[in-house]
Structure 1
Amino acid sequence: MIKTSPLDEQAYHHYKLDNGLNVILIESPACSKSAVSMSIAAGNYNDPDDCLGIAHFLEHMLFLGTEKFHSKEDDFAQFVEKRAGHTNAWTSLEQTNFYFDIHNNFITEAVERFSQFFICPLFDPKAIETEQVNINSEYELKLKDEIRRLHDVHKQAVNPKHPYSRFTVGSKDTLVEKDGISLKQRLHQYFDENYTADKMNLCILSHLPLRHQKQLVDAFFSGIKAESETATTSLPLLYRRQDLGIKIQVQTLRDIKRVIFNFPLPSEAKDYKAKSLSYLSAIFGHESEGSLLSQLKQLGLATSLTAGGGVDNHITQDFNISIQLTQMTDDNINNVANVLFNFIEYLKQQSYLDHIYQDKKQLASFAFNDLEMHKPIDWVSQISLKMQHYAIEDVICGDYIMSDMNQDWLKQAFKALVPENLRLSILSNAKINNAISPWYHTPYSISEISKQEKHLWLTSKYHLAFKNLQPNPYIPKQQFQNKLEKNKSLEKPSILYKTENTKIWYEKNTQFPQAYGHIYVSLDLESCFTDMANQACMLRLFIEMFMESVQADNYPAEAAGLHYQISAHQAGLTIHISGYAEKQSEFCNKLLLQLLNSQFSFEQFELAKTKLLTSWNNTSHSKPVQQLFSMLTNLVQNNQYSYPSLYNALSEITLAEFEYFKQQLFASINIESFIIGCWQADQAMLIGKNIVSIFANSKPCHEFNRYVYLLPKLPQHVHLSIETSDIAVVNYFQSNKSSDKDKAYYMLLNQLLSPIVFQVLRGQKQLGYMLGSAYMPVNNTAGLIVYVQSSTHTDLDIQTNIEELLFHFSEILEQLSAEEWQQMKQGLINQLEDKSLSLRALAQNRWTSIGLKDTRFNRHATVVAELELIELEQMQVFSKQLFRDNSAGSQLLMTASPKENIKFMENYQNCGLDNLIELISNNKLN
């Protein structure tokens, strides 16, 4: 029997086919979509040495045709997407996972097509040639990714006989014919050796009864080959003696000051029920007074710390302590190491603190018993993967089981926390000339930790005041559930309390049994609504300093699942608190009082200012297309500023200016709050009035308008000069109205356009790996973006191809059959009508509606009503008006490249960003 959460009303059935395929079926009568996932116990580790990346390449190739389904009309991704579905896959070191969802009406056809992936893939030579380019583009896209660069260096300091040491993505240099063996033969060989039923786990979730699902599986998956003729070989040790007790220095692209202390500890892979590593993670990672982090902060050595598990190779498991430094100097690193090893010695002298493990165990038990529903596609993907690691009865509860602390493991772990077993990674942008990693071209050096360094680390220098982690007062004493009344109609938010500057919205949770709650508080601050970048940057500086100042005091609440977040918006800031409702009101009062009464030192000011300046400066190393997205959202909204503008403004801010700003910050406010959870109305009223009373001394002010700037009718072009070598092009189409009809047209246009963009621009034109289209609303204004990032094409070439596709899109629509049109339209309608699967999703949806002034909370329903009226011929006319003559909206072309862009498009008004801002600043929609 599969152990399920008490709240999970779905029916589960596990069995095996005669060929050995492991199957879990889930009957979910209320689901609007069916979902399927296949997990294979083979991945990058199974690549042959002379064809690195073949596992990843095969994952791509299985989507490109099978012997039974190989015509253009049989394309699996398009088949699914036209029927309201999605599909994807990924490859990791030891697994590959394929998954999709689809409208219930088409599950039988989809399962048949999907099953052929694992029985008779086509491996068409033309598709192989095309996908080689796409794989190489994917590799090149991540060349500047800091995590991949770090891993590339990490691989140079492990056992070269272990497959972890190898390149995994694949490129034009590794995926080639060798020794007369074609790539097609390589694919067949890898497939035959690894894609066998004994290595596969299938999970299906559907509205269909279990017996019908079983009939589908028996009919379509029995043809999978049972076993491989190739024997499985055991892996060697990942770390040799010479791979321990070393320093690995890595030159980063961004301004990073981080050290990672990596200790290989005994593996817990076969003892997943104990989860003993969580105990170590808790005592190293806590942030309260007397913690490792608090001592490092008091000494001015570090600003943040995380601790947790890493790579588990079934013999050892990495335990990583990652620390952000204040300064990247040898002295600072040595001082941090000294404090860390003093902390380790302190822990070794303490007795085992069982309350830490029991707190974690109780929270895990609560989390499992209160398990929120996932989207079907996410659920089946998780389960098929967990079937590889857990006993079948534990595939759902396995992540939450904490049986008991393994004391023998803990003793071995403490013995391993010594300099001789350490792999110390030092990450900074300081120049290194020793070596270059082979695939991501990262400068690095590897050296042995000297005896002098070990002695220095183990010799106490500071008077340290470590304290044991105390029992957590915020953990609920016992588990409660929200009692739901059967057949009770769905409630909507209503205004519980209102004054001239206050609105408190409330909704009783009548859908979900979890005893959770969400409290949102939006503060419009008159002092921040000045259209000045220095006010915006000081607000962000305030948030940064505040979050840092309360981190230690509020850590117990965070550890107990009471999460809080504070973020800036166009007119002020938003506070969001979520988690168990039992102690949330009490914590909300505490957090708001901390916010109102915060005091900061000069040192805190300087530290936060440096941290923000570094972060904003590092955005220049973001992906070019992400930089353009950021530019776009800041451009078309009032009181929003680019990171360079914020950086320049903050550079000039003094402590005196900030203190004056802080004194005025809450002087005049407007409050809008939303309370949703298992609270009764009188309890919510008390929460709301407490919020209001905390700001009772502030003057009331009106709510400030959130504007969207309308682009001119004549298409505009702006260019961003960037440091990276890739080229990015973004076409943004903006509606000139805020009507539901426009939203319906723009949404449906993207639903139709998205698969075509992928098929043509990536599949046929091979412009790049990172591209697509998306519906992009800004506040209540509809919009659409088409974007491409490429390392192989010019901006002129990219834009020419985009324009050609968009110009002829109405003709592509003419080829749609009436059935396909209805399927695409119904797919979008189904997405909009989908009910929230969790309180978190519902709360976010409601809060968004409040922000958009949808006080009837029917914004999706009104768009659906408009969608129902749209005919194919009308969509053809709309696409012509938008893409050909600009009468259905306005267009902004944005480009990013390493050099100043030439004026290459006659149809666009080329202007600088400042000129465009001035041009649109007087033309705005609420």
Structure 2
Amino acid sequence: MAAAVSRDDELVTKSPNDQRSYRLLRLANGLCALLVHDPEIYADGYPPQASKAHEHEEMQEEEGEDDEESDEDDAGYSDEEGDDDDGEDEDVEWEEDGSEPKKRKEKGGDKPLVKKAAAAMCVGIGSFADPPKAQGLAHFLEHMLFMGSSEFPDENEYDSYLSKHGGASNAFTETEYTCYHFEVKREYLKGALDRFSQFFVSPLVKAETMDREILAVDSEFNQVLQSDSCRLYQLQSHTCSQGHPLNRFTWGNKKSLVDAMGSGINLREEILQMYMKNYHGGAMKLVIIGGEPLDILEGWTMELFSKVKAGPLLDMTPKTDMSFWKSGKLYKLEAVRDLHSLILSWTLPCLHKEYMKKPEDYLAHLLGHEGKGSLLYFLKAKGWAGTLSAGVGSGGSQRSSYAYIFEMSIRLTDSGLKNVFEVIGAVYQYIKLLKQSEPQEWIFKELQDIGYMEFRFAEEQPPDDYAVDLAENMLFYSEKHIVCGEYIYEDWDPELVKHALCFFNPDNMRVDLLSRSFDKQSQAIQCEPWFGSQYIEEDIPSSFIESWRNPVQLDADLHLPKKNEFIPGDFTLRNANSPRSSSEDNPHCIVDEPLIKLWYKMDMTFNVPRANTYFLISVKDGYSSLENSVLTELFANLLKDELNEVLYQAYVAKLETSLSVVGSKLEIKLYGYNDKLPILLSNILSTFRSFSPKTDRFEVIKEDLERAYKNTNLKPMSHSTYLRLQVLCEIFWDVDEKLGILMNLTFTDLVKFIPKILSQLHIEGLCHGNLSEEEAINISKIFCNTLSAQTLPEEARHGERVICIPNGENFVRSVRVKNDLEENSVVEVYYPVEQDIGKGATRLRAITDLFSSIIEEPCFDQLRTKEQLGYTVKSSPRMTYRMLGYCFQVMSSKYSPVYLQSRIDNFINGLSTLLDGLDDETFEHHRSGLIANKLEKDPSLSYQTDDYWSQIVCKRYIFDMPKLEAEELRTIKKDDVITWYNTYIRSLAPKHRRLAIHVYGCNSDIAEAAKLQEQLWTAIDDVQSLKVSSQFYSSLC
């Protein structure tokens, strides 16, 4: 084994609060590795068991014993680029208390909390390298690397190993790099690295798996076919200059890859050539996070990754400027959702080397500001816009070596759509203001202070996410700044800001307009070939371009922001003089008064000057009727709109607020640095108490809510879950009926309604983090002193009840997709188990989670990999208002719901054989892996707060629930899981009952649903009629 060319334990700059150790390692083959020793992974000491685990793995490999067949987990090779919907999740009215077995939770107790190990590898090749005749090749290569290696030829070995040892993996293809990453139980890191390293040493790229993986790529593409953000990105790529790397179809699909083969291209040879040319040590950045000493991690790195072939160091030099788009054009793209969105894009030179100055962040801060004097404030006053965001995105296409793309996205009102060129004119007025005002050092200093504060007190991420971030940082930052590069604003360079501002001109601007309000009969309509999106390319009148180039006047309402009063100055830790006691392990109630009940826990773990304060406010009759539920949402949205300026200032200073309607309640969350938190809360509650809506904002917010209702359920997966919950919940107001009510509501209706809902209240809250008990009590007093409401009686507080599906019943609800162009169909099959109450509830949850762990990979293997039903195949427990259940979900663009149901049933019926044949060793791997997940340490204060809050929201108040579940798991046997399956899931089981939701895509015939009634299914034609004749469980929350 060759020695490392260089190593350095002192080079990387880390936060003074970061207890991890870092070693930078350069191998002879050019590979650069960052090794991270996290002492908390083995907080109980580096044990002999870990070494024995590694030895046991090596013995198994030598003896050829580890040959279990299974396929990759859904996370095994899903492309995160394709999964990201850019904030397009629909506005839905329900909330479900999810119970996911892999969720990180607070564990408490005497046993030390454990963390997982992780690794990530970034390779400097991405979709910009796709050959024009085989577009999507880099993404396809990413998929193929999971299909086995010379050392581990079973195509499922890597993911099977991770699955058995409490781990998971993922990968994504960017424009100029591809990233692979995993996490695993701490003692199995070496075995996971052994399998992982073979991706980069000797992948097999099996010819017999290629057709199947092309279908997987195609299914992945079909998932984003109706995504507005993805359609816009592809239109921008399609209309980019010919020959530019951005002029690509980066996802790839069956057509792009099969057509490549049809034109005589040997796809496997193309993949191997791309791999051999680009997958070498000089192009690779590796991160390993483990609990082992750095010397051991270095030994493993040398042993496993020295085998990677050598190659020249990655060249990240900015490319010569190339023209991206034609100037003077307006692209009108037909939207899927009901929206009007204006996107302005300016190309800046590549700024990779200017990360210590960050001129693009300075400009984003000002152009995207939401305070008084800002562009958004001005546009809202005109009634033209609702939201605005600006900046250079984090994606590879926005930050490439060719250029940085600065985007401004403005959500327009109907009036704004009619005045779109005037909106752009206002943008250029603000740009003129920035050019005239000269760059302001005090603004840079604010960003600098906030950046350093965030670096100093950075909240820890899950290890796999952190590994990915570090590997990506290694591509763009100097070795010294791998950890801190994204936070630092070190050098104030006003000339560079001025230089960047020069690119904000009409000749360098692209204009995209998304809406459903275009003339579809226009002769100018064109079709983007991959997504089939309809668009119009128009010339912008030269008179407007000239007026934007040098605005004649500057509106007096536009000015620079004032200094931010929410930037914290007190970072004192409240626990410094508070010895830990057993009473502080979990939240405890410190205020229990008629108006407010408050839970409290001082942070004794993370030692950061942050606090999270969450509150549920029950209001009088806020959910008692369909009309009241809509009025409550209007009130909440108008209140947020009224508070926007102050909330935005706090947000910039990293003190964030969430205000939303959760079922029958208002939920307010304040989270971030605790110094100014009471001031912000007082401001919010004062506005809450005296709020009086304005007529003009009422009309705008009503328009926004109308669109939100129309856009609900456009995604078939969300639609199926919505429909399931609509059946299960006794009161679940239909969104289409809410839309009908909304259209007829007046400003007077709302004004009359507000005093009524605020006349009686009840608050339940949680204060967690860097707050003393006295400070928490004072927060409760802010509520009591500010809100002069009477107490809402307990019997008047809404509690949700869940329908009791009779044993032996098989309900099915069949509907069409809401979007007529949506090709995907979805089947969601839900099995009720029991109410989550009583002495046996903890054990039942544990068995359900263990069943899920055991069948997750076989389910994926059978339904996705072998049968290729679709890209999305899921199985997991569900917790719906304290009703435990189990759910199977499949989404497919190829098969009808009736066929999908038959294949799900076939898999479920075969589980008896699978469970009976489960050997003791495999069962123990699943059990111990699940225990490790239950006992995994929360990575940050926010994770821990969310776990505590879920216990309060569902009124369970078992704050050490994962620890109790882990204890139960230690006594659960395989026969217990089989008994559970034979009781609740198996056909004709004594408590077998199910609800199937079938959402029919546009290419499936809903008339097929009649076939199900011949198979003992009961069709649900009228949900309300079903509820009238049904029994319901008692309300628990």
The 2-side partners of 1:753 and 1:464 are apart by 64
Query: Which stretches in structure 1 are left out of the alignment for 5+ residues?
Result: none
- Which residue matches 1:536? 629
CA distance in 1, matches of 2:603, 2:240: 52
Tell whether 2:329 aligns with 1:226. Answer: no
Q: Which amino acid counterpart does residue 916 of structure 1 have in structure 2?
A: L
Q: Is the 8 A contact 1:265 1:413 kept in 2?
A: yes
Indicate if the aligned counterparts of 1:295 and 1:464 stay in contact, CA closer than 8 A. no
Change (3 A) 1:281 1:179: closer
| 1:287 matches 2:397 | no
Of residues 260, 268, 273, the one that matches 2:356 is 273
Are the equivalent residues in 1 in contact too, given 2:283–2:312 (CA < 8 A)? no
Q: Is the 8 A contact 2:631 2:753 kept in 1?
A: yes
Asked if 1:833 is matched to 2:917, the reply is no
Amino acid in the other structure paired with 1:669: L
Q: Which residue of 2 aligns with 1:885?
A: 988
Distance 1:428 1:95, change over 3 A: same
Residues 857-876 of structure 1 aligned to structure 2 (within 5 Å): 857-876=959-978
Q: What corresponds to 1:40 in structure 2?
A: 123
SS for the counterpart of 1:728 is strand
1:445 matched to 2:536: yes
- For the pair 1:381 / 2:468, whether they are aligned, the reply is yes
SS of the residue 2:475 aligns to = coil
Indicate which of 420, 431, 434 corresponds to 1:333: 420
Q: Which deviates the most, 717-726 or 514-523? A: 717-726
Question: How far, CA to CA, are the matches of 1:710 and 1:472 in structure 2?
Answer: 53
- Give the match for residue 116 of structure 1: 198
Shift of 1:25: 0.9
3-state SS of paired residue (1:712): coil
Distance 2:539 2:664 in 1: 53
Q: Secondary structure of 2:750's match?
A: helix
CA shift in 2, pair 1:75/1:96, >3 Å:
same
Aligned twin of 2:871: 769
How far apart are 1:660 and its partner, in Å? 2.1
More off after superposition, 487-496 vs 819-828: 487-496
Quote the sequence identity (%): 23
- Relative to 1, partners in 2 of residues 1:229 and 1:452: Cα closer, same or farther, differing over 3 Å? closer
Contact 2:723/2:997 (<8 A) preserved: no
2:1016 matched to which residue of 1?
Answer: 907
Task: Tell me the equivalent position of 1:51.
Answer: 134
Alignment-derived partner of residue 811 in structure 2:
716
Q: Which amino acid aligns with 2:829?
A: N
Asked if 2 retains the 8 angstrom alpha-carbon contact of 1:878 and 1:888, the reply is no
1:779 aligns with 2:870: no
Match of 1:513 in 2: 607
Does the 8 Å CA contact 1:571/1:706 hold for their aligned counterparts? no
**Secondary structure of the corresponding residue to residue 432 of structure 2:** helix
C-alpha distance in structure 1 between counterparts of 2:853 and 2:608, whole Å: 34
**In 2, Cα distance between equivalents of 1:206 and 1:329:** 53
Aligned to 2:82: none
The amino acid across from 1:41 in the alignment is G
| Cα separation, partners in 2 of 1:600 and 1:701, compared to 1, 3 Å | same
1:221 and 1:415 mapped to 2: Cα distance? 46
The within-5 A match list for 1:53-452 is 53-71=136-154, 74-176=156-258, 177=261, 180-227=264-311, 237-239=321-323, 243-310=326-393, 311-327=398-414, 331-429=418-516, 430-432=518-520, 433-452=524-543
CA-to-aligned-CA distance 1:765-823 (integer Å, 9 cap, x gap):
00001221122111322122111111111112111110000111121122322111011
Moved more, 447-456 or 155-164: 447-456
For the Cα contact (< 8 Å) 1:133–1:172, is it kept in 2? yes
Q: Which moved more, 1:422-431 or 1:882-891?
A: 882-891
Alpha-carbon distance in 2 for matches of 1:547, 1:856: 32
Q: Which whole-Å CA distance do the structure 2 matches of 1:545 and 1:789 have between them?
A: 37
Q: Is the 8 A contact 1:158 1:238 kept in 2?
A: no
Aligned to 2:35: 25
Residues 744-785 of structure 1 show CA distances to partners (whole Å, capped at 9, x for unaligned) of 222112111211121111100000012211221113221221
What corresponds to 1:731 in structure 2?
Answer: 829
Check 1:727–1:179 CA distance in 2 against 1; reply closer, same or farther (3 A cut). closer
CA displacement at 1:638 relative to structure 2: 4.2
For residue 527 of structure 1, give the secondary structure of its aligned residue in structure 2.
coil
What is the CA–CA distance in structure 2 between the aligned matches of 1:27 and 1:47, rounded to whole Å? 37
1:921 shift after superposition: 5.8
What is the Cα deviation at residue 266 of structure 1? 3.0
Shift of 1:180: 4.8
How many Å apart are 1:86 and its aligned residue?
0.6
d(CA) in 2 for partners of 1:148, 1:238: 23
2:1027 paired residue number: 917
Listed as ranges, the gaps of 5+ residues in structure 2 are: 1-10, 42-114
CA distance, structure 2, for counterparts of residue 78 and residue 633 of structure 1: 33
**Equivalent residue for 1:894?**
997
Structure 2 counterpart of 1:573: 666
CA distance in 1 between partners of 2:533 and 2:739 (Å): 28
Deviation at 1:252, TM superposition (A): 1.2
Q: Is the 8 A contact 1:247 1:447 kept in 2?
A: yes
Aligned residues: 922
- CA gap of 1:623–1:570, structure 2 versus 1, over 3 A, is closer
Any idea what SS the aligned residue of 1:416 has? coil
Q: How does 1:452-467 map to 2 (within 5 A)?
A: 452-457=543-548, 458-460=550-552, 463-467=555-559
Partners of 1:332 and 1:18 in 2: how far apart? 61
Give, in angstroms, the shift of residue 462 of structure 1. 8.2
TM-superposed deviation, 1:20: 1.1
Name the CA shift for 1:330/1:862 in 2 (closer, same or farther; >3 Å): closer
- Aligned partners of 1:464 and 1:446: how far apart in 2? 35
Preserved CA contact (<8 Å) 1:628 1:895: yes
AA of the residue aligned to 2:604: T
Distance 1:890 1:743, change over 3 A: farther
2-side partners of 1:334 and 1:103: how far apart? 56
Identify if the C-alpha distance between structure 1 residues 640 and 877 changes in structure 2 by more than 3 Å, giving closer, same or farther: same
What is the distance in 1 between the residues matched to 2:16 and 2:315? 42
Query: What is the SS of the residue equivalent to 1:895?
Result: strand
Higher relative contact order (CA 8 A, sep 6+): 2
Paired residue type of 1:152: Q
Decide whether aligned partners of structure 1 residues 40 and 328 sit closer, same or farther in structure 2, where only a CA change above 3 A counts. farther
Give the secondary-structure state (helix, strand or coil) at the position aligned to 1:50: coil
Give 2:707's aligned residue: 614
Moved more, 814-823 or 898-907: 898-907
CA distance in 2 between counterparts of 1:637 and 1:245 reads 53
Q: CA deviation at 1:13?
A: 0.8
Q: Secondary structure at the match of 1:782?
A: strand
Cα deviation, residue 376, structure 1: 1.1
Deviations, residues 623-651 of structure 1 (Å, cap 9, x unaligned): 21211112223432344323223222322
User: Aligned ranges for residues 696-707 of structure 1 at < 5 Å?
Assistant: 696-702=788-794, 703-707=797-801
Residue of structure 1 in register with 2:742 after alignment: 650
Task: Give the alignment's TM-score, normalised by structure 1.
Answer: 0.96
> How far did residue 330 of structure 1 move?
6.7
Q: CA deviation at 1:835?
A: 2.2
Deviation at 1:393, TM superposition (A): 1.4
Q: Does 1:795 align with 2:897?
A: yes
Secondary structure at the aligned position of 1:355 is classed as helix
Distance 1:275 1:570, change over 3 A: same
Which letter maps to 2:557? Answer: A
Partner amino acid, structure 1, of 2:632: L
Pair 642,5 (structure 1): closer, same or farther in 2 beyond 3 Å: farther
Superposed, 1:742-761 pairs within 5 Å as 742-761=844-863
Q: CA RMSD in A?
A: 2.2
Separation (CA, whole Å) in 1 of partners of 2:318 and 2:14: 34
Aligned partner letter, 2:193: V
Supply the distance in 2 between the matched residues of 1:864 and 1:768 (Cα, whole angstroms): 34
The 2-side partners of 1:593 and 1:275 are apart by 37
